Amino acid sequence: MKANAIRHVAVPLLAALIWGTAFVFQSLCARSLPPFTVNALRSFLAVGVLLPVSGLRTGALRRRGEALPIDWRGLLRGSLVCGSFLFLGTALQQMGIATTTAGKAGFITAFYVVLVPVFGVFLKKRVGARVWVCVALVAVGLWLLCIQAGESLTMEPGDGLLIGCAVAYACQVLSVDRFAQKLDSIRLSIGQFLVVGLLSGVLSLLLERPTASGLHEALWPLLYIGVMSSGVAYTLQVVAQRGGNPTLVGLLLGMESVFSVLAGALILGDRLSGREYAGCAVMLAAVVLAQLPVEKMRRQNPCNGGE
């Protein structure tokens, strides 16, 4: 396997692993800090990690005589669009994860992998019958995972928030796919996290009352999700979507749901019911089916999920 092919597999898979395990640390943070505070701190931590990395890389390129021009207008636009969707997704996710297990949150969030090609319809991308089958499978999986047995239309409060989170993440993925082709990956990541940090920080000041003891208790989990999940994994997402096969990238990023269940069980001792495990299995099948390559895929935009 060529080096580029290995990179296009390893980079999104590593991002999925980091995101999947991050659900555990987000759960730990949710026990002692309110959601907007968590997201503000993790976003500014990510910016603090990425700024020196960007500066060192820019300096190295200049010493080699290679220019790295900045499209300020494009960067501002990309940061605002991607950052706004990321803010909405992380806010809903952090609020939802406080009411459920890390593994369940990971699987519901993975719904975004199927939504990406569906939303492509609004971007005038053809969607084939296979994707609609996946949507139906996801609906069944969410029913098993979220709706309590014996209660026809009852969901846990966090489940609806996590479904909204999946919608926001699907929009963020499509936004990154658009802007990452023309913008520097690290700069785009810095920009979107500045937007998330500022929006979350304002709402934290207005609505929340974090405590020093809560911050101390959540310090190490917060460092993980700030440095690894935000700073590293989201940058890996941008890198993976630039020049990679979107079909393969989507499949590998969707594996975060599997890692979230494994991490929740190993670290937090989370346990799902048989009905919930069945829901996870159905949703995973839908995620895999939605991203499997088909003949003619090379001649189409893989984001459309068409056949």
Q: Dump pLDDT digits (tens) for 177-217.
A: 888 878 888 899 999 999 999 999 999 999 999 999 999 99
Q: pLDDT value at position 295?
A: 45
Q: Does residue 242 register a pLDDT over 90?
A: no
Q: Does residue 71 register a pLDDT over 60?
A: yes
Residue 263: pLDDT band by 50, 70, 90 thresholds?
confident
- Averaged over 211-225, what is the pLDDT? 93
| Residue, of 199 and 277, whose pLDDT is higher | 199
Q: pLDDT value at position 143?
A: 75
Put simply, whether the predicted model's pTM sits higher than 0.95 gets the answer no
Share of the chain above pLDDT 70, in %: 80
Q: Does residue 126 register a pLDDT over 70?
A: no
Q: Does residue 283 register a pLDDT over 80?
A: no
Distance, CA of 81 to CA of 292 (rounded, Å): 28
Q: pLDDT value at position 302?
A: 41
For residue 118, which of 171, 164, 194 has the smallest C-alpha distance?
171
Q: pLDDT value at position 34?
A: 94
Q: pLDDT value at position 180?
A: 80
- Averaged over 144-173, what is the pLDDT? 76
Of the candidate ranges 95-99, 211-215, 277-281, the one whose mean pLDDT is the lowest:
277-281
For residue 303, which of 124, 120, 130 has the smallest C-alpha distance?
120
Distance, CA of 274 to CA of 54 (rounded, Å): 47
Distance, CA of 297 to CA of 133 (rounded, Å): 18
What burial letters (b/e) apply to 57-77, b meaning 16+ CB within 10 Å? ebeeeeeeeeeeeeeeeebee
